[in-house]
Structure 1
Amino acid sequence: MGYKVVVVGATGNVGREMLTILAEREFPIDEIAAVASPRSQGTDVDFGDTGKTLKCKNIEHFDFTGWDIALFAAGSGPTAEYAPKAAAAGCVVIDNSSLYRMDPDVPLIVPEVNPDAIDGYKKKNIIANPNCSTAQMVVALKPLHDAATIKRVVVATYQSVSGAGKAGMDELFEQSRNIFVGDPAEPKKFTKQIAFNVIPHIDVFLDDGSTKEEWKMVAETKKILDPKVKVTATCVRVPVFVGHSEAINIEFENEISAEQAQNILREAPGVMLVDKREDGGYVTPVECVGDYATFISRVREDSTIDNGLNLWCVSDNLRKGAALNAVQIAELLGRRHLKKG
């Protein structure tokens, strides 16, 4: 027996990726529904490579009663309205927006890092998916934290435009084309030109000068990994279509060498270590697209502090940073709580 699964926001980048990954991983499904806003009602979306096409249903009229799991990729606004309705109808919500991440009654889950936390989902029948940049980082940090106890993390991100949705990807493409032909490259989605540029600004600014994206990385890492870990982040948008990269500096309580870290990461769940100290012996965003893994390269000791390491972390943000992690949560939920058959 399988589950009855709803994908909410099925016409967006992440929603389509959720459908693809559900099919790729052969998630046990008896029935699946694609749900979106009223303007997308009737739109055809592919259920991966299964050959099955789904017609989008209007979320305003969708009844979640009798459905097992709803994967939400609809943004905070629609989620605030419809996730509680789905949860109240007995359908477990796995939400990709930021709305519930810091709610103490909602578990924030990365299955490789804190699977046991999922047991608290029954308080609201909702599980939160972390921010894309946080998700890949904690996958890399968890095995190292277990080995040598992390004190402090300093991270600079290089985040692709797909993190800003289809509008972000369209803007990079259009600006790049316009620059080549001598047309204006006016920003619309982003605050400055993104083509051939980098923008040290993601989400809104907070009173202390950080951005909300940077705050998310700090707060979510503490909730998922360990509240005692200190985190400081600088989040930067770069002209890459898909794939987030991070330069991570880690300070540990206990001694750990680069070689020990490499050996630990080589065996860690969800991690692929590609770390050859030669030309091309590392992974870049272009190479990670479409892959499930969080790739780690450039592991080396930081001689400026005691027990310090640097590493380079790359992952497909539409997958591990969003859709894949949501499906992995659904798999974990099925194994631990919603067993069928």
Structure 2
Amino acid sequence: MKRFRRTAVVVAAGVAVVVLPAVPAGAGGGADHGQGGPVVTVATGLDGPRQLNDYRGNRVVVAESDSGEVSSVSLRSGKVESLLSGLFSPQGVDYDRGRLYVATGGPPPPEEGGAPGAPPPGASSLVVAEPGGGVLQTIDLLAYELAANPDGQLQFGPDGAPVDALSNPFAVLAQGRRVLVADAGANAVLSVDARTGEVSTFFVPPVVTDVPGCETAENNPGTVGCDPVPTGITEGPHGRVYVSTLGAEVPGAGRVYVLSSRGRVVDVIDGLTSPTGLAVDRRGTVYVSNVIEGAPQGAPGPDFDPATIGEVTRVPARGARSTAQVAMPTGLLVRDGDLYASAWSIAAFLQLPAGRGEIVRVGRGAFTPVGG
């Protein structure tokens, strides 16, 4: 959970960068302490690490989508400890008041021309659990999508009947009485009452039509433009909520929406491409991960280095943007002034070996000016 308090050291959420091959696995602390240029590997052996958040002591919590686990990671030793297992595709996680809040993803799409099957148990849900204990509650977010259809878009099933059956919860922000969930399938940010489990709509980002490639883009029936697709959510200064949206991977169609605590748009950061997560520090600097940038358009050549896929964009409150090359980053976190990220988060998609995922810490010197 992110809290910005006037009387305490502010803990926000931050950035990441590519893991350098020369850094040994499980390097732990490292002399740089995140303030200079070198990128330090904090932990290895993760499977599809996605969202990062604060946990107990010197540890962070991470959702491992490929292994079905939620794990804690020591930022000092690099030790990884499983807190939950047997989940369906955990993608987002936050920790608040002794409980874990986990967003589980939706099932893969059916084969072309085939009918969708029944969703696996626990898919498209917000799971509430005790660390190392049992699941306390599973809140079905697909059921809310089917009943409320927050984005108003229609699809058509195999029988021709209109349906809207997409729910792919991707990131979580626990805020005491409520839990906000960025649902990438529903094109909406949902609010879940932490006491009752009641689901409501917090924010629906608009379809993007004002960038080249989106003006006449084909979408669901009756919709033109690039789907916004919420991917990241965090809390920033003054209680504002920040939401990153993918923009259908069209260059420049990605956004970060700055919202009031009630979901009103306060500001929009545009000109981004394929955001997959974000973080905000106490000065209002926004960090946006991009797991797609640098991916080959066709089959990669023999000299292609998968570590070149991905980057993080740094957007200061004032001044020019800068970027750092990252290895497939998704989750971002700033802790005690250091910047962390989950890296190699889509390694399985590229058929890389299991356990390739990492948590890394990056120094400020890794960022270079955009266009520089």
**Under a length normalisation based on structure 2, what TM-score does the superposition of the two structures give?**
0.27
**Bigger strand fraction:** 2
| Pair member with larger Rg | 1
**Under a length normalisation based on structure 1, what TM-score does the superposition of the two structures give?**
0.29
**Bigger helix fraction:** 1
